[in-house]
Copies of this chain bind each other. A is one copy, B any other.
Amino acid sequence: MKFYEIFKQKLNEAGYKLTTQRRVVFEVIGANEGKHFSPEEIYDIVKVDHPEIGLATVYRTLKLFEKIGIIYRLNFNDGCSRFEMSHLDDESHRHHHLVCIECGKILEVKIDSLQELESYVEKEYSFDIHNHTLKFFGLCSDCKKRRNKCKKESTES
């Protein structure tokens, strides 16, 4: 798969080193499409073949991957962040999530409308929609201006 090449490239572009720990975490997430792992869950999988890797490193790595656009951070209101690979080679594949308020099961939806989507989902997945949430992440006009003016003292967050 070429995901790995893109991953290495993104790391490099951002000025980060390719370490064993980062490669291993990347592989765990990449090998589990459709899953939405928490840091602890990823840590448990990583430990099997690499017991020397620490939990703190998993947290750090996930934060870094999110920052450089390798993964998405998801929130299902279950007390922790969850992560999935971002579709590096096809950004249009961004999918939506169905969260069961009873059993917590998470289903993925591969289409991108909303009005149609709701009725489609209710029928096709036999899912009773109680609520939905839509968020946009981006830059407001103020920050676009500010970002253009002062590109100098850009330090890490």
Contacts and interface: CB of A to CB of B under 8 A. Distances in A.
A91 to B, nearest CB: 10
B107 A140 contact: yes
Interface stretch (A5-13, A14-22, A54-62, A110-118): A110-118
A31 interface: no
B132 A100 contact: no
| Copies per complex of this chain | 2
Contacts of A127: 136, 138-141
B101 A138 contact: yes
Contact of A140 (B117, B125, B135, B140): B125
Given A113-B115, A114-B113, A115-B112, A137 B130 contact: yes
